[in-house]
Amino acid sequence: MSFNTFGHLFRFTTFGESHGPAIGCVVDGCPPRIPLTAADIQQELDRRRPGQSRFTTQRQEPDAVKILSGVFTDEATGKQVTTGTPIMLMIENVDQRSKDYSEIKDKYRPGHAGYTYDAKYGIHDYRGGGRASARETAARVAAGAIARKIVPGLNVRGALVQIGEHKVDRSKWDWSAVGGNPFFWPNSAQAKELETYLDGVRKSGSSIGAVIEVVAEGVPPGLGAPVYSKLDADIAAALMGINAVKGVEIGDGFATAAMRGEDNADEMRKPDAKTNEGRPVFLSNHSGGILGGISTGQPIVARFAVKPTSSILKPRKSVDKYGAETDVSTTGRHDPCVGIRAVPIGEAMLACVLADHYLRHRGQVGESAPWPQHRA
């Protein structure tokens, strides 16, 4: 059975294909009386939208979102707020060019999902990849815009930290640079150098992979569960569920394999009422803000690796759906590095996991975790 629903208490179901009339989602479980307008959601969608630079696909989708249900004007404030009922969000598809796909209609694009869809369903919408198209992720970004409002004080942001062999210089990390260059890169000077690099990749008819880092600040300690719904496991699943993602790590991740215990374990100092709301102070954050599947109150840090776009001009060996060998060269409008637009998608998925766990935590233990009150 297919599964198109994310989450437990904060839950959304996405619908639609790349070349159908519309895509969208129904968000269920959002608490009532949270201020919400289409503009709040649009500002996040605009960050993911295609066609904003020569380094992303040239499809021109405005991704204009409509809220079809679940909001009402609060008489007390005059503001539009959530009502606690299902919120339906719809985004019309307006820039499909299905003929771009007629040439590869019966051929399997190596690295794309056509073969596995046929192996499973015996039919698939080949236009734009159908349900495997990253257009579906617009609905996740829209749901994420709502999720961001659920955990009080939560701030989720992300950046591209690697394209091909180019890695960010962490000593020059500048969050304020991220919104000012076409790569979501946290350093303006380095981003400029990447333009020449990516132009080269694009002009050679190829594509390139990337790594994205997402960070959540303002996460209260206590979110998560100790065994089958560990916060890190749920974040990994949510990020791995984004199209083209092939690897996820939390905190120091794979680098921990080369570390010693004394270098990895985050040391602690006594609670500091002024700077840390009376909670213990951690001297480092190798854990990425999660211990035992439960948030520590430190920033949550996750990275995910995105493979290079499979639709490239360079011919690749494949077969068609009748079993004959063929070559596939993909024309049409594709992202030369899908990692760029994956930044707001990763942020959205992290926000959704945190909103879901926040509501589940509140349901089980109430508004605040018992520590440190029980020690008074």
Ligand X SMILES: Cc1cc2nc3c(=O)[nH]c(=O)nc-3n(C[C@H](O)[C@H](O)[C@H](O)COP(=O)(O)O)c2cc1C
Q: Which residues of 4-38 are buried (b: 16+ CB within 10 A; e: fewer)?
A: eebbebbbbbbbbbbbbeebbbbbbbbeeebebeb
CB 59 to ligand X: min, Å: 8
Q: Hey, which residues between 51 and 80 contact ligand X (CB under 6 A)?
A: 57
CB 335 to ligand X: min, Å: 4
Q: Hey, which residues between 323 and 342 contact ligand X (CB under 6 A)?
A: 334-335, 338, 341-342
Q: In this structure, what DSSP letter does residue 375 have?
A: G
133 binds ligand X (CB under 6 A): yes
Nearer to ligand X, 340 or 353 (CB): 340
18 binds ligand X (CB under 6 A): no
93 binds ligand X (CB under 6 A): no
- Tell me: cis bond preceding 280? Omega within 30 of 0 counts: no
Nearer to ligand X, 90 or 343 (CB): 343
- Contact pick of 113, 191, 300, 359 for ligand X (by CB under 6 A): 113
Residue 287 class from Cβ within 10 Å (0-12 exposed, 13-18 middle, 19+ buried)? buried
CB 345 to ligand X: min, Å: 6
- CA-based R_g, the chain, Å: 22
Residue 88: which residues within 8 A CB-CB, separation 6 or more? Answer: 24, 25, 26, 27, 67, 68, 69, 70
CB 299 to ligand X: min, Å: 24
42 binds ligand X (CB under 6 A): no
What residue type is 8 in one-letter code? H
Answer yes or no: are the C-beta atoms of 138 and 91 closer than 8 Å.
yes
CB 160 to ligand X: min, Å: 12
Bridge-partner residues for 316, per DSSP? 328
Nearer to ligand X, 112 or 303 (CB): 112
- Contact pick of 296, 311, 353, 358 for ligand X (by CB under 6 A): 311
Strands (E), the chain: 5-6, 11-15, 22-28, 65-67, 71-73, 80-82, 87-92, 155-163, 166-167, 210-217, 245-250, 268-269, 281-282, 290-291, 294-295, 300-306, 316-319, 325-328
Q: Which of 165, 169, 155 shows the shortest CA–CA distance to 211?
A: 165
- Contact pick of 30, 87, 132, 198 for ligand X (by CB under 6 A): 132
82 binds ligand X (CB under 6 A): no
310 binds ligand X (CB under 6 A): yes
Nearer to ligand X, 37 or 98 (CB): 98
309 binds ligand X (CB under 6 A): yes
134 binds ligand X (CB under 6 A): yes
100 binds ligand X (CB under 6 A): no
Q: Hey, which residues between 223 and 252 contact ligand X (CB under 6 A)?
A: 242-244
Nearer to ligand X, 113 or 290 (CB): 113
Helices (H), ranges, 161-205:
188-203
Nearer to ligand X, 223 or 235 (CB): 235
* Contact residues for ligand X, defined by CB under 6 A: 57, 112-113, 129, 132-134, 137, 242-244, 307, 309-311, 334-335, 338, 341-342, 345
